[in-house]
Amino acid sequence: MKNIFLIGMPSSGKSTLGRRLARELGYYFVDTDKLIIQEEGGRSINDIFQTDGEAYFREVERRVLHTIEPNSQFVVATGGGMPCFHDNMAYIKANGLSIFLDITPEQLLDRMLRHKLNERPLFNRQDPTLLQNLRQKYTDRRFFYTQADFTISGETDVETLSKQLEAYL
Ligand SMILES: Nc1ncnc2c1ncn2[C@@H]1O[C@H](COP(=O)(O)OP(=O)(O)O)[C@@H](O)[C@H]1O
Ligand SMILES: O=C(O)C1=C[C@@H](OP(=O)(O)O)[C@@H](O)[C@H](O)C1
Ligand SMILES: [Mg+2]
């Protein structure tokens, strides 16, 4: 048994695809952002960033990662920055199969502008330099993301993804 960790930039589809993948495989689903909100008594991610800062958020993020039962049957939607802080990527690799959902900054921008919900403190839809920001973060973070066991480039659907995974589970 192996947990499956979906990693990648915000809006790459970790939460949406993760939930569908879990249903398809008969796995449990967990979203680390939701675990953080629970751990923080229902405060929003924006509130945590604004009140306590990113470093505090990253501490909680690291802590909740360690609460997920290792070698179990969870599909884990991680937060976009998770693999890039602390020893999180090494921990993910040691505790399951990791999949990088690789979507271009242009495509991420398009999705962010289209979908009004899901506010993200580091990626403001009103910001005229959002594309620049996405490109910069994408470049900085690829070092971590590309350590995943698999990379899926471009849009994918749950049927394709679960077929690709069959041999490894
Ligand atoms: N494969 C996809 N094709 C088109 N839109 C998608 C796809 N996956 C996710 N989206 C849309 O992009 C938005 C962000 O997806 P989400 O799952 O929250 O990403 P993440 O958890 O990686 O930040 C959602 O509104 C979702 O509907
Ligand atoms: O990229 C990031 O640093 C973040 C991504 C968010 O998760 P999603 O990738 O699910 O949007 C959330 O954890 C927080 O806003 C920080
Ligand atoms: Mg998400």
- Per the model's pLDDT, the better-predicted residue between 162 and 116 turns out to be 162
The helix (run of H) or strand (run of E) holding residue 4 is: strand 3-7
Q: What pLDDT score does 167 carry?
A: 83
Q: Could you report the per-residue pLDDT of 3-59, keeping only the tens digit for each? A: 999 999 999 999 999 999 999 999 999 999 999 999 999 999 999 999 999 999 999
Q: Is the CB of 86 under 6 A from ligand 1?
A: no
Structure tokens that stand for 9 in this block: 């930039």
Q: Comparing C-alpha atoms, which of 94, 38, 35 is closest to residue 62?
A: 35
Mutate to test the pocket of ligand 1, among 14, 16, 99 (most ligand atoms within 8 A of CB): 16
Q: Could you report the per-residue pLDDT of 104-133, keeping only the tens digit for each? A: 999 999 999 998 776 899 999 889 999 999
Q: What is the pTM of this model?
A: 0.96
C-alpha 107 to ligand 2 mean position (Å):
16
Q: Where are the domains of the chain?
A: 3-159
C-alpha 5 to ligand 1 mean position (Å):
16
Taking the C-alpha atoms of residue 105 and residue 167, their distance in angstroms, rounded to an integer, is 30
CA atoms within 13 A on the CB side of 152: 23
Q: For the chain, give percent helix, strand, coil, nearest 5.
A: 55, 15, 30
Residue 68 backbone dihedrals phi, psi, to 5 degrees: -80, 125
Report which protein residue has its CA nearest ligand 2's atom 4: 80
Taking the C-alpha atoms of residue 30 and residue 18, their distance in angstroms, rounded to an integer, is 8
Q: Is the CB of 60 under 6 A from ligand 2?
A: no
Fold adopted by 3-159: Rossmann fold (3.40.50)
Q: What pLDDT score does 119 carry?
A: 80
Q: What pLDDT score does 168 carry?
A: 83
Complex confidence, ipTM: 0.95
Mutate to test the pocket of ligand 2, among 30, 116, 122, 142 (most ligand atoms within 8 A of CB): 122
21: which residues sit within 8 A by CB, 6+ positions away? 4, 6, 27, 75, 158, 161, 162
Q: Could you report the per-residue pLDDT of 80-111, keeping only the tens digit for each? A: 999 999 999 999 999 999 999 999 999 999 99
From the CA of 33, give the closest atom in ligand 1: 21
Taking the C-alpha atoms of residue 100 and residue 8, their distance in angstroms, rounded to an integer, is 5
